[in-house]
Structure 1
């Protein structure tokens, strides 16, 4: 039981001391084995803005590296228009994903889309897998770029190798949950 308390205390301390992420939404494009993986996670502050269009599409997952566009769509979604630009990621006009999961999301220079009914600040996450291709095969170069929105930003990291694990913000409830577990352990120890 002592090892559990020590581990729980260390985890709670690590979560509470985690550094904030540099952007609200983080997108990572990495080679994973013989496939290309795109993962995204974070929140977006769209308060004060209205979607310009609403769509209902089923399972459209693609990468247009020559347009700096990433799509992971399933179900209905709403599109917002903002004044931002992105440098094309590579030279390939369009490839379709072998698999994808998570919240509907896309980014295209000047546009982002989120699930229909999205509430600002709600956590979004997803992943898209492209079979038997790579960053190099698509003419992409390692690096980062940022789409700056009026209330937020989206960082895109290509070939950085770490995925999102170190940069994704900790959900606000995680330290509370660990604190409650620690308090429960303390109470149980006092009773025993």
Structure 2
């Protein structure tokens, strides 16, 4: 399964079919877990991520209900209960934001090494992962979203540098 948070939060099967994940809070939970893919996230941190400053009276029960709904959508094994928290069973490269970061690093290294063609292709792949505002479904994440937008601008600058190095000034 792949997870997208560089735009509206989505889960996508290996064949590219989107998995319906309805409801703003369910998408917020998925985004919060995806940002820590493979790591246990304390329940209190998930409550903060999903409800921000307005948690329900029974936040623990509400979170458990949301996790149950997310498991029904993604599959029972997708979200594990672990020591007072939950863990999304995913590798970092299964989450677009981490894949993006890895590709940007790879593209910038290729550009620094003088391989503009590789840099251009890898940076284009990285930028193609974006589908909208980053972390759009997480309340109170404007600062994190701005950080990813800045990283996106870095990728665009590096892509323009690669295009110039390839003699494609009009593309830059």
Please give the range of the TM-score, normalised by the shorter of the 2 chains.
under 0.3
Greater helix share, 1 or 2? Answer: 2
TM (norm. structure 1) is 0.25
Look at both structures and tell me which one has the larger radius of gyration over its CA atoms.
1
TM (norm. structure 2) is 0.27
Greater strand share, 1 or 2? Answer: 1
